[in-house]
Amino acid sequence: MKKKKRTLYILLILAVAFTVFSMGCSNKAAPTATTTSETGEPSYVITYDGATGFLGNSGQVSVAVIFEIINSGDELLHLLPGKYDLKDESEAFIIQGQPIVAYPPIIAPGEKSYYYDNFFIKDLEEISDFAAFLYPVVERTEIPIVRLDVSDDASIYVGVLDTIQMRGTIKNNTNQNLENICVAAILFNGQNPIAVIYANLEESLTIGSSVEFNGEDLDNGKIFQGLQSGSISYLDVPNYKPIVIAFPYQ
């Protein structure tokens, strides 16, 4: 079937357009929260959290926050939009109850998902460390997992004006027309997740049809990973190993 070409526009990006001065970060690889089916609640474990702050060219501080969560039970889980708190090194709240979204929202037993957010903090002069605390909203569900086929060549790259772009092809391999499709690239530095880039397909995708996506982020300049080795040039972005998934919002 002939492929249709459309453009996907990046709506949320990984902390871009910042100077080389990193303000602070925290990250953990050990589980930070869990519930068990013995209590009648959904079973999951938060296996990673990271929060990194950067001083932007505008003089504002931007913070990128990511949490990795795994389905540790034997049922499908629906990860609804949750909230998180952010504290500084003195344990004072920087922000409370900040909304955060998971990619993907429905996961099978043993599967991982990633809550991700970034935002600007006004009038913040100096921070040496952050601590992030996730409050996910997790439910058991019978909603079936729907994932679209993603081409093996799906990747991120540096595009025009030094922007971070994502490209590839997705195919509707289901038996129904799909709408509100999200394409998300989870970026990893080694074993640790560092950011999520996502794009929304504005039009429906009919059964068996394919679409080439080539989304572009909203900011220019440099990006920083900051969770392990400090700041990096945007030229290093293609070295990261993304996991690209596509799914309808459910």
* pLDDT, tens digit (0-9, with 9 covering 90-100), for 11-48: 333 333 332 233 344 555 445 445 444 557 899 999 99
Its pTM stands at 0.78
The percentage of residues in the chain with a pLDDT greater than 90, rounded to a whole number, is 33
Mean pLDDT value across residues 183-191: 83
Domain 4-15+144-248 bears CATH identifier 1.10.3470: no
Phi, psi of 158 (to 5 degrees): -90, 120
pLDDT in tens, 78-93: 999 999 999 888 888 8
Domain(s) of CATH 2.60.40: residues in the chain: 4-15+144-248, 18-140
Rounded Cα gap, residues 72 and 76, in angstroms = 10
Rounded Cα gap, residues 136 and 1, in angstroms = 41
Cα 176 vs. chain centroid, distance in angstroms? 27
Which CATH code of 2.30.30, 1.20.1280, 2.40.170, 2.60.40 fits the domain covering 18-140? 2.60.40
> What SS3 state is found at 81?
strand
Identify the pLDDT of residue 8: 43
Identify the pLDDT of residue 211: 86
Rounded Cα gap, residues 49 and 71, in angstroms = 16
Cα atoms in the Cβ-side hemisphere of radius 13 Å centred on 73: 20
Identify the pLDDT of residue 192: 83
